[in-house]
Amino acid sequence: MINVEDLRKEAKRILKEGKVKYVIGYERDQNGLLPKPAFIKDPDDVDRMIWDPTCIHNLTKFLVDEKKRKAAEKKPDERPVGIVVKGCDSRAIVVLLQEKYIDREDVHILGLSCENYGVIDEKKLAKKLKGKKAEKIELDDHGNFVITAAGGTIKIPADELLAERCLECPANFPVVYDLLLGDKKKKKVDEPFKSLEKMESLSENERWSFWTEQLSKCIRCYACRSACPMCYCDECVVDTINFAVTADTTATEKAGKIKWVEKSPAPSENFVYHMVRAMHLAGRCIDCGECERVCPLDIPLRFLNKKLEKEAKKLFGYMAGFDPDEPSLVSSFKDEDPEDFIR
């Protein structure tokens, strides 16, 4: 079990010593139970920091923001930022390091192990509570979450509340860190891609119906893209914004500017957008689940990325976010890469 005081002590130390600009962590949101991202600048503010199974956010997106902010400043503060990460989040940092988007010296990583559990899926919790408001969530010694709500306590087995990805987690403690709190014991996971198998066993038409129904809901709010730490392109393929228009640009040139995907949410365009995003994340997605968590229409986006994650492992023996020195999936190859599908 992690004592949050140890986390606060370390955060206080690095802030007091001026080692970091600020620490990105979790704090309680104003509505009571759920956490929200916190940016602690003052060493005396560290008591705001919390850590419990509700801390589901992937805070590494703010490292991307920090880099973009520094790039826009004339004389940026070059000190690193402190960041609280779980196992999955640390793999996101490894991918950013691997791609040289940030340097190791830009982050001071406060790693927290999920030990044998993980984080709670808010929607699963809401279902179990049936409208009651939870006030506190704790883990007991028998693998149950004990939830205090509306004057009573409810005991629920952890597996029924954990986020789907936590049940298949390959990295329950951070793979890179400056400080690690909690157990460094690998969680036993029976079947790493179990959630995908059901979908794969469906027929081609069933899968097509499923995806048509789900992706027709998409309103192209791009929240999935905004929440993903790996989507850091200054100009996304769906938003041709850097098309320089001068006095000499002709109407034909403007009309001919490359548009891979139309802006409107027709089903065919939604398919192309989501498939291109999945391809751009092949070998980079570390399944933090943020895309699915933020989607306002509950589209099960994780499956698309999970499928490519499985293929990367099965066909090429590749797992994203473990080794910052290994080349990325699509910019490397092995002689033994399968070619049975090639005529």
Partner 1 sequence: MDKILLKKALPQWVKKLQAYRIYAPTKDEDIWTYEVVNTPEDIDLEFLTTALSPKKIIFPQREVYFEFEKPDVDNPDIKETLPEDDPTIVLGVRPCDAKALTLTDLVFGGDFKDVYYWKRRNQTYLVGLACHTPPSPNCFCLSVDGSPHSKEGLDILLTDLGDKYYVESLTKNGDKLLNLAKNLFKLPSAANKKEYQKIQAESEKNLKRQITNLKKVPPKLKGMWDSPFWDDEAMSCLRCGICTYMCPTCHCFDINDEVLSSTPLKGKRIRTWDTCQFPDFTMHSSGHNPRPDKASRLRQRIMHKFQYFVETYKNYQCTGCGRCITKCPVSIDIIEVLEKVRDYGS
Partner 2 sequence: MAENFEPKIVAFLCKWCSSAGSDLAGVSRMQYPPNVIPIQVMCSGSVSPLYIFDAFNKGADGVLVSGCHPGDCHYIKGNFYARRRIALVKNLLEFIGLEPSRFQMSWVSAAEGKKYTQIISDFVEQLKPLGPQTKLRRNQ
Subset of residues 236 to 275 that bind partner 2, contact rule: CB under 8 A:
237, 260, 262, 266-269, 271-272, 275
Residue 237 binding partner 1, by CB under 8 A: no
Min CB(339)–partner 2 separation in Å: 6
List the 107-112 sheet strands across, edge first. 35-40, 23-28, 81-85, 107-112, 179-181
As measured in angstroms, the least distance from the Cβ of 313 to partner 2 is 12
Angle at 243 between CA 238 and CA 247, to 5 degrees: 150
User: Out of 136, 279, 317, 327, which residue is the one contacting partner 2 (CB under 8 A)?
Assistant: 279
Applying CB under 8 A, which of residues 102, 125, 312, 319 lies at the interface with partner 2? 312
> Residue 306 and residue 168: Cα distance in Å, rounded?
11
Among 16, 69, 70, 257, binds partner 1 (CB under 8 A): 69
Quick one: which of 4, 129, 294, 330 contacts partner 1 (CB under 8 A)? Answer: 294
| Residue 263 interaction partner, one of partner 1, partner 2, none, beta carbon < 5-8 Å per kind | partner 1
Q: Does 207 bind partner 2 (CB under 8 A)?
A: yes
Query: Token match 């049936």: residue?
Result: 130
Cβ contact 288:88 at 8 Å:
yes
Cβ neighbours of residue 337 under 8 Å, at least 6 residues apart?
315, 316
Q: Which does 36 bind (CB under 5 to 8 A by kind): partner 1, partner 2, none?
A: partner 1
Segment 93-132, which members bind partner 1 (CB under 8 A)? Answer: 123, 126-127
Per-residue interface string for the shown chain with partner 1, residues 8-47, x marking contact by CB under 8 A = ---------------------xxx--xxxxxx--------
Taking the least distance from each CB to partner 2, the nearer of 78 and 335 is 335
**Could you tell me the strand order of the sheet in which 152-157 lies?**
134-139, 144-149, 152-157
Does residue number 226 form part of the binding site for partner 1 (CB under 8 A)?
A: yes
- Following CA atoms 128, 134, 139, 140 in sequence, which dihedral angle do they give, to the nearest 10 degrees? -80
**Side chain identity, residue 248:** D
Q: 267-280 and 302-316 helices cross at what angle (nearest 10)? A: 40
240, 257 Cβ separation under 8 angstroms: yes
Give the binding site for partner 1 (CB under 8 A). 29-31, 34-39, 57, 61-62, 65, 69, 72, 123, 126-127, 133, 217, 219-223, 226-227, 235-236, 239, 241-242, 244-245, 255, 262-266, 290, 293-294, 296-298
